[in-house]
Structure 1
């Protein structure tokens, strides 16, 4: 039985969910969709006899938080690789592949801040992918689309090469709306959810072919790394020499043996407050309320709102289609449908 090593990428800052998500407390560390944090949920969906302890690649400033949240013996990482600087996903995964020994172990690459509602469907997709992974294929999981989404990359599904596994025909950049509508209508495209499965040696070999400078930098950084228990601190100067690139650009779009497993598993990247509202349980008026800590939310004659507080009381009367989020001394108020514009606020605050 092939051992699967979960690799959890936890380098993101999640600024689109400000004010709750901040550089010191990014969204994967928050309990946004359940009692557990998103990081904890990610670790929990890759447990069992087939799975080994996870490898977590993260920002060094979050090391204590990660160890606290994954202290459970079933989720405790075998390695916590602490990047000295962000270099995007391709170098981060190279560090993980080297931490795993660089051999035949299958790496399940998962972002730490996504939601998968149907874990059984996810496991079924993994089982379908494994024979091709063992044969040296790079596999990605394509999310069954339900909207002409312009915020995601798409993948055109090619010929079936094994049960439920297809060759990737092409990767598509984040499309304009008309192209997204065409792909959705055609029925042969899926969303690129950024979840992958491949052998460590397969990935490192692909890097040697398509991004040799990145591989050299990662190897050098790990050779010179400082180790403290499960914590691995790659050498900053060596890792800083790596090009910054995503796995899609560096490897997946260029390699030959690349496959996709389409799957409907209740996936969301929770990329905005609107996205969180869409997957949240709501009351009879369409409101999604949640409070943590000493937070409190009171809503009267209110419809289709998202309200979150971890401290101050939010009181709403006679309003509809609003997003109201209170955290610490900050309160965010905006109409539903415009939560992607939080990044404008972040920029304005940086400049003020």
Structure 2
């Protein structure tokens, strides 16, 4: 089978984990779970393992310094520098156009936490086997709760990688947008629904042919930006004027929901998108009462008689007494206090928007 090329999409606005995450240094570049940053952990899950090649990183100019400072193997990493953000369809197309047509791309966001890296690699190998048969493969994440913040994949009929193999994955019977709570509960009860984790595998040439079929203008604009771009060592810079004409659209809307070759592989790998402070709380180790202290290396915290409290401080001592279901974050002169339910709205705060 072809070498799997990790394609890491790296950027973000830094609003959902404000005030720790900021526009100038969003969450991929922060050590939120463990000692490595989420970006470093994304690369290390594949780095040095059999079957995985050197990565292609797609990032914006504003984050290039962080990427180059944190990439584990700079000499063997290729970096595509977007002049501006144009969503995931364009970012993936940039990488595909810079790879051989038969390269199997493993598209990974740079800001997810995956607790079981071995399970991730096993799912990646299964997805790659289907990708060589020209399936566009999504990772289906085990739905463990009626989550309303994720899209869902409905599992269809089984697909074997070869005629002699057991099922390597399944057709996607349906893509489902973020549901309300009643529908999410129905999905869990019914079974056969998986969270859409935003991780994909496909052959570069086939992805581009499907993009050209379903979004010809977007494909043509990305192609022009690449043809008129230039190399700078290991960096590649698409042409800014051509790139500015690209329509901003996610790969889900542009391709995955339109193709007749959508497949999925199940992935049970302790995954979290760390999409807000409550998601981070759930990814961290907690005490018997559900309390967690996010260690930034500087801040201190004391929790007395508390349940389900998260504290993260970059300096000042934080003391919490008798509280339940609370999130407290201190970053410089900014202080955030939220309930777990309110964590979804942090990105709407004036401080987060105007950072």
TM range (shorter): over 0.9
Taking the TM superposition and a 5 Å limit, the aligned residue runs for 1:1-352 are 1-47=1-47, 48-70=49-71, 72-73=72-73, 78-101=77-100, 103-162=101-160, 163-346=167-350, 350=354
Distance in 2 separating the partners of 1:347 and 1:19: 8
Query: Could you tell me the TM-score, scaled by structure 2's length?
Result: 0.94
Answer whether contact 2:19 2:330 (CA < 8 A) is retained.
yes
Answer whether contact 1:291 1:297 (CA < 8 A) is retained.
no
1:232–1:338 CA distance, 2 compared to 1 (3 A): same
Shift of 1:109: 0.2
Shift of 1:329: 1.3
| TM-align CA RMSD | 1.7
Shift of 1:299: 2.5
| Runs of 5+ unmatched residues, structure 2 | 161-166
Query: Runs of 4 or more off by more than 3 Å in structure 1?
Result: 346-351
Answer whether contact 2:64 2:81 (CA < 8 A) is retained.
yes
Number of equivalent positions = 348
- Aligned-partner SS, 1:192: strand
Query: Could you tell me the TM-score, scaled by structure 1's length?
Result: 0.94
Shift of 1:320: 2.5
Describe the superposition over 1:108-131 as per-residue Cα deviations: whole angstroms up to 9, x where unpaired.
Answer: 000000111112222222222222
Shift of 1:204: 0.8
Shift of 1:347: 7.0
Distance in 2 separating the partners of 1:27 and 1:77: 24
Distance in 2 separating the partners of 1:262 and 1:291: 32
Describe the superposition over 1:45-89 as per-residue Cα deviations: whole angstroms up to 9, x where unpaired.
Answer: 11213111111111111111111111x33x765211111111110
Distance in 2 separating the partners of 1:31 and 1:348: 20
Shift of 1:178: 1.2
Answer whether contact 1:323 1:334 (CA < 8 A) is retained.
yes
- Aligned-partner SS, 2:28: helix
| Runs of 5+ unmatched residues, structure 1 | none
